[in-house]
A and B are shown apart, each in its own frame.
Chain A
């Protein structure tokens, strides 16, 4: 038994040493801040003409929505499929009621959460709207909206969101994303191409279709995760 433990320690140390040696300042993994961008794919995206072309001040957003817009559509689809799986496993057509938790929210929690709800929702919307200017965007912003809904669920043990509206919103946002992509195919040359003017770098109304797509992604992610939360926190009504 003791020998086994010693052997395990030895293997762990050996593995960690090999990981450290593999990741420490060699040609594949240069130390932090010393990367030569000309060797990487990102060098091409950080070209000044490209940045002017896309018009998004936040280069991460430019890559996620403009250059890799089709991949982001796939990402949204993955989230949709997982929400579908949760709904299949946990939801049912029978009448649903709130899960009974071993926890009763008191008055202070109820009122405080109602006050915080608006602030969190506003921050989420701000992050979605400024996705092309500042860090963040549709995915974190949408999740922030969903966490505001979750706070309401926490604060009131009888609260239920209007989940039908969320489902309609999710479907409409997802379809509009594809429709905007097809409009790019019609008005320009390829799927999800920017067909609107880029505008001035740094303006709220700039970067062509990026803000529109990020608003749609934010609404879709927010309503999807709210639906997942509702599925988790409800159960079938039993007599």
Chain B
């Protein structure tokens, strides 16, 4: 075990802030009353995790997350929500 005293850098502070906001947005997404809001918070969560991936020096994963997580999956969720609402109203 190495026990060196590490200096706190700006990078550490930024990654801490990003991590805390990530957890916060995840909790908000779970607790959101409207499903549409939950989906949008999930999209924001993906967008912020892109920042986290870039800070962890994984740009490949960041690009994939940006496209799939906050683009495609969000759009599919939104379409599904729009489609299901329609069915409920006609019943």
Q: Contact residues of A with B, CB < 8 Å? A: 25-26, 32, 58, 60, 99-103, 127, 135-137, 139-140, 143-144, 146-147, 150, 154, 225, 229, 232-233
Contact = CB atoms under 8 A, between A and B. Distances in A.
Contacts of B1: 25-26
A133 to B, nearest CB: 12
B86 A101 contact: yes
The 5 closest A-B pairs by CB, nearest first: A135-B59, A101-B82, A102-B86, A135-B60, A140-B63
A147 B72 contact: yes
A25 B1 CA distance: 8
B60 to A, nearest CB: 5
Contacts, number: 58
B82 to A, nearest CB: 4
A58 B60 CA distance: 10
Interface string B72-91: 10011001101101100100
Given A139-B64, A232-B79, A147 B89 contact: no
Given A101-B82, A103-B82, A232-B79, A140 B72 contact: no
Given A102-B85, A135-B59, A136-B60, A143 B72 contact: yes
A147 B85 CA distance: 23
Contacts of B86: 100-102
The residue among A60, A102, A103, A137 with the most chain B CB atoms within 10 A of its own CB is A102
